[in-house]
Amino acid sequence: MWGRGITLKEVTIKETGNRQFRDKYLGYLDSLTKADLIKDYVGTCGWLNCPAESGGPKPIEGKQYSTLIEPKRSQVISHPYSFGSGDFKQVVYHYPQFTEEELLKKRNMARLRGYSLPREFFHPDYENNTSRLDPLPDFRNTLYWKSDLITDKRGEAVIDFYSSDLVSGFVCRIEGLCAEGLLGKKDIEFTVQK
C-alpha cells in the first residue's frame, strides 16, 4: 500500500479570507478610505442601494444582496414598489481593494523607509600585505557600504572598492537624500569575471 501514489497534474491554491494590511496604520487608512469613498448602503428592505431610500448601513463583505437594475431603478421613488424577475439581480458584495500606493495617494501622503546610522562593513585593503596574504577566498556579497557618503557641490562623489572572488552579477544600489529633503535612487548592474 505504501508504494503506490497518485500524481496530480496541477494544484491551485487560492485565498479565501479578506486581505488585511499587516501595518496597522495602513489598515486604518484602508478603513477610512472605504468609509469615505464607498457610497453603497443597504436599505431597510435589505436591498443593496435601495432607490427608495437615501442611505443605510454599509453592506457586509461577501454577503449576497438583491439590487434593482436600470431602467427600473430610476423609476422607483418610494416603498412599496413592484418589480419583475428581469428588474433585479443578485450580487455578492465585495469592497474595492486598494494597494498601499493607492491609499497613500488618496490621502496625499508618502511613506519613507527608515535610514540607519552609519555602520562599518569589512573592506579589504589590498594595498597592504595583510589582506593579500589571506589564503581564504573573498566571498563577500556586500562589496561596499557607506551610509554617510557626502557628495561635492556638483553632487558627485568618487568611491573605490575591491570586488569579491565571486564570479557573478552584482547590483550597485545608490540611494540619497539632498539638503532640501528630496530622495533619489539608482540601480546599476555590473558583472565580475575572471
pTM of the model as a whole: 0.44
Round to whole Å and give the CA distance between 175 and 116. Answer: 12
Percent of the chain with pLDDT over 70: 87
Sheet strands (E) in 10-141: 64-68, 88-92
> What residue ranges of the chain are covered by domains with CATH 2.20.130?
113-194
pLDDT reported for residue 90: 92
pLDDT at 185: 87
Class assignment of domain 113-194?
mainly beta
Helices vs. strands in the chain: H and E counts, helices first: 4, 4
Check: CB of residue 141 under 8 Å from CB of residue 173.
no
Mean pLDDT score of the chain, rounded to an integer?
81
- The model's confidence at residue 42, banded by pLDDT at 50, 70 and 90, is very high
pLDDT of residue 63: 92
Query: What's the N-to-C CA distance of the chain in angstroms?
Result: 54
Contact 98, 107 (CB under 8 A): no
For 176, the 3-state DSSP assignment is: strand
Average pLDDT on 74-88 reads 83
Q: How confident is the model at residue 10 (pLDDT cuts 50, 70, 90)?
A: confident
Nine cell digits for residue 74: 430610476
Tens digit of pLDDT for each residue in 50-69?
888 888 899 998 899 989 88
| Contact call for residues 103 and 78 (beta carbons, < 8 A) | no
Task: Encode pLDDT of 105-158 as tens digits.
Answer: 888 888 777 666 666 777 777 777 555 566 777 787 778 888 778 888 888 888
